[in-house]
């Protein structure tokens, strides 16, 4: 999850489709006193410990923990939050220094010092959780503290993207007194310094956030409390919105529910439809006897009909994607379409026969039941139909809930499996780097030395991201040539809300994480 510079442009909702005349989610308003704002989502945290999550848990982390840098409303590059200022101190982009704000405290009143920052970063690498964000720190050599307020990051290579890494919720600052150095916390307690503190938490049910009076940072809170409710599916969540049991929905709106809101509406609901950079893709396991064969992967790439998936399954609420780097980011290409063109069974058959494969290929496709929306199962049925309809494949579909699904792909159990990706930060690098290398976000080694030792290091030496387009395009072409990853679609961002809620557009940062403090109730029209 990662992006930058001009691609660091706002990717939050940009076009409003209001379902009530004269008012919209983007209207200005003042905070009211009608109790906490209740936000619904289908993306529940996998853990409350930042060292253990490289996933949608970041939504909660952004609001209860603090990072050195983050994205104030309207910012497209990281700005100081816990830090007073940060900058590279050398021309090679290998030494990055931050000075903390004075008087920082955690929500329980304990002081937050440079030592806590170093401790938080170092424990990520020490714990190195299988589902954790240690992979984001590949360019970090060591962390130094100077007094109580200065932190110096020494990098092992030039990395102009490092400030964006520090701005991810993965780099949340935790209290050394409350978080073990060598293991993850197992309880439901949180000791952060963000705009809110976690008053209570019920796994897969709700998180109750209340104002953190010790917070010192850029966030100007428009409300005093937010409750996040976690739903299993879109229809239940939308019903709760219509029944006024929640105020806002975010993450997980199904295509049918979006279309219903657009077509029929409701006199007291509103919908925002905007650009997004989340993507969906398939991963091929190199340990599987069939999936490890390039001809098999390329034949699948030749058959898959992205347009049919976008139209039939997602009702055109997503867009076909022909590169791992989505549209809207500098360096985006259409490499898969350029190489494979339109879906073609004859071309796929030729790819296989040229490789000496003449029999029908059996493969098992895995997907998660509760992470990427209720259409996921339908998408995999469509993939099965397309591939089996070619006469070249026999596809078995299997699924698991996210928490056990993650364990399975990390152990290499799945021949082919589906993943989604929400960017860590807005730069094309973040749609390439996390997926390559011996250790990556997929749990399946993908060495690709040209990418990891030449193209990415060279591109990271350039702070002007427009100058790295050729390297990024070359990296994407390698991904196409290997066909280890198969991009399927690029999403949009939809936020539905009651008509008395404002701040929805401002609430989305460049990585489309919701900053709950921007939401507020209107008190006048």
Residue 22 pLDDT greater than 80, yes or no: no
- Rounded to an integer, the average pLDDT of 284-289 is 96
- The H-or-E segment that residue 513 falls in is none
Q: CA-CA distance, 228 to 208, in Å (whole number)?
A: 6
- β-pairing verdict for 393-400 and 361-368: parallel
Quick one: CA dihedral 247, 248, 252, 256, positive or negative? positive
> What CA–CA distances, in Å, run from 255 to 75, 148, 258, 488?
30, 50, 5, 16
- Rounded to an integer, the average pLDDT of 378-403 is 97
pLDDT of the residue at 34: 67
- Rounded to an integer, the average pLDDT of 360-375 is 92
Nearest CA to 390 out of 345, 453, 457 is that of 345
pLDDT of the residue at 463: 77
User: What's the token pair of residue 214?
Assistant: 């010790």
pLDDT of the residue at 154: 98
Q: Any idea what DSSP says for residue 450? A: I
Give residue-wise pLDDT tens across range 98-145: 999 999 999 999 999 999 999 999 999 999 998 889 989 989 999 999
Mean pLDDT, the chain, rounded, equals 89
> What CA–CA distances, in Å, run from 105 to 72, 134, 421?
20, 25, 33
- Rounded to an integer, the average pLDDT of 500-516 is 86
Give residue-wise pLDDT tens across range 32-53: 456 899 999 988 999 999 999 9
Measured over all CA atoms, what is the biggest interatomic distance in the chain, rounded to whole angstroms?
Answer: 71
Burial class of residue 341 (count of CB atoms within 10 Å of its CB; 0-12, 13-18, 19+):
exposed
- β-pairing verdict for 69-70 and 79-80: antiparallel
Confidence of residue 372 (pLDDT cuts 50, 70, 90): confident
CB 14 within 8 A of CB 275: yes
Confidence of residue 262 (pLDDT cuts 50, 70, 90): confident
What length is written for the chain?
Answer: 525
Residue 257 pLDDT greater than 60, yes or no: yes
Predicted TM-score (pTM) of this structure: 0.78
Rounded to 10 deg, the angle between the 234-242 and 255-263 helix axes is 30
Q: CA-CA distance, 22 to 49, in Å (whole number)?
A: 43
The partner residues of 275 in beta bridges, in order of sequence, read 492
Quick one: CA dihedral 208, 214, 216, 220, positive or negative? positive
Name residues whose C-beta falls within 8 Å of residue 235's C-beta, 6 or more positions apart in sequence: 254, 257, 374
Strand runs (DSSP E) across 181-232, as ranges? 196-202, 206-211, 225-230
Nearest CA to 207 out of 233, 232, 227 is that of 227
Nearest CA to 415 out of 292, 515, 507, 318 is that of 292
The CB-side HSE value for 21 (13 A sphere, CA atoms) comes to 0
pLDDT of the residue at 466: 79
Three-state SS letters, 459-493: HHCCCCHHHHHHHHHHHHHHHHHHCCEEEEEEEEE
Strand runs (DSSP E) across 221-320, as ranges? 225-230, 248-249, 269-284, 318-320
**What percent of the chain is helix, strand and coil (3-state, nearest 5)?**
30, 25, 45
Give residue-wise pLDDT tens across range 290-327: 999 999 999 999 999 999 999 999 999 999 999 999 99
Q: CA-CA distance, 460 to 427, in Å (whole number)?
A: 11
- Rounded to an integer, the average pLDDT of 437-453 is 88
- Rounded to an integer, the average pLDDT of 427-437 is 91
CB 107 within 8 A of CB 192: yes
Give residue-wise pLDDT tens across range 132-180: 899 899 899 999 999 999 999 999 999 999 999 999 999 999 999 999 9
Confidence of residue 422 (pLDDT cuts 50, 70, 90): confident
Residue 70 pLDDT greater than 60, yes or no: yes
CB 168 within 8 A of CB 1: yes
Residue 375 pLDDT greater than 80, yes or no: yes
Nearest CA to 409 out of 362, 450, 381, 371 is that of 371
- β-pairing verdict for 416-421 and 269-284: antiparallel
């Amino acid at each position: 999850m990662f992006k930058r510079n001009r691609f660091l442009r706002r990717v939050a909702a940009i076009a409003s489709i209001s379902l009530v005349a004269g008012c919209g989610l983007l209207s200005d308003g003042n905070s009211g006193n009608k109790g906490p704002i209740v936000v619904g989502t289908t993306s529940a945290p996998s853990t409350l410990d930042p060292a253990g999550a490289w996933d949608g848990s970041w939504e909660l982390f952004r609001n209860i923990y603090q990072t050195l840098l983050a994205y104030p409303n309207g910012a497209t590059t990281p700005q100081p939050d816990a830090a007073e200022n940060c900058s590279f101190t050398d021309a090679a982009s290998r030494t990055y220094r931050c000075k903390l704000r004075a008087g920082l405290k955690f929500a329980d009143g304990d002081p937050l010092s440079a030592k806590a920052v170093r401790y938080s970063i170092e424990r990520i690498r020490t714990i190195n959780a299988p589902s954790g964000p240690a992979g984001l720190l590949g360019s970090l050599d060591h962390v130094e503290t100077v007094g109580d307020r200065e932190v110096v990051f020494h990098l092992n290579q030039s990395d102009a993207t490092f400030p964006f890494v520090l701005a991810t919720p993965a780099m949340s600052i935790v209290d050394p007194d409350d978080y073990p150095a060598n293991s993850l916390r197992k309880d439901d307690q949180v000791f952060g310094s963000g705009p809110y503190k976690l008053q209570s938490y019920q796994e897969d049910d709700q998180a109750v956030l209340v104002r953190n009076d010790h917070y010192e940072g850029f966030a100007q809170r428009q409300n005093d409390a937010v409750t996040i409710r976690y739903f299993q599916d879109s229809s239940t969540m939308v019903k709760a919105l219509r029944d006024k049991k929640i105020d806002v929905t975010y993450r997980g709106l199904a295509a049918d529910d979006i279309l219903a809101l657009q077509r029929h509406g409701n006199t007291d609901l509103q919908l925002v439809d905007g650009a997004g950079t989340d993507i969906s893709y398939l991963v091929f396991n190199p340990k599987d006897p069939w999936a490890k064969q390039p001809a098999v992967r390329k034949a699948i790439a030749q058959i898959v009909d992205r347009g049919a998936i976008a139209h039939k399954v997602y009702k055109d609420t997503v867009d076909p994607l022909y590169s791992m780097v989505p549209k809207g980011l500098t360096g985006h290409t259409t490499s898969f379409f350029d190489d494979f063109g339109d879906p073609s069974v004859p071309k796929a058959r030729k790819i296989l026969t040229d490789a000496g494969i003449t029999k029908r290929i059996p493969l098992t496709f895995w997907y998660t039941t509760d992470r990427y929306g209720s259409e996921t199962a339908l998408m995999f049925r469509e993939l099965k139909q397309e591939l089996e309809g070619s006469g070249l494949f026999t596809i078995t579909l299997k699924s698991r809930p996210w928490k056990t699904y993650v364990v399975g792909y990390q152990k290499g159990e799945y021949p082919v499996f589906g993943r989604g990706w929400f960017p860590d930060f807005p730069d094309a690098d973040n749609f390439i780097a996390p997926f390559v290398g011996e250790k990556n976000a997929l749990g399946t080694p993908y060495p690709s030395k040209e990418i990891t030792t030449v193209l990415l290091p060279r591109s990271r030496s350039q702070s002007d991201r427009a100058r790295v387009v050729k390297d990024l395009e070359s990296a994407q072409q390698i991904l196409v040539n290997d066909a280890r990853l198969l991009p399927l679609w690029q999403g949009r961002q939809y936020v539905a809300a009651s008509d008395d809620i404002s701040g929805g557009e401002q609430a989305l940062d460049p990585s489309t994480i919701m900053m709950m403090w921007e939401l507020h109730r209107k008190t006048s029209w």
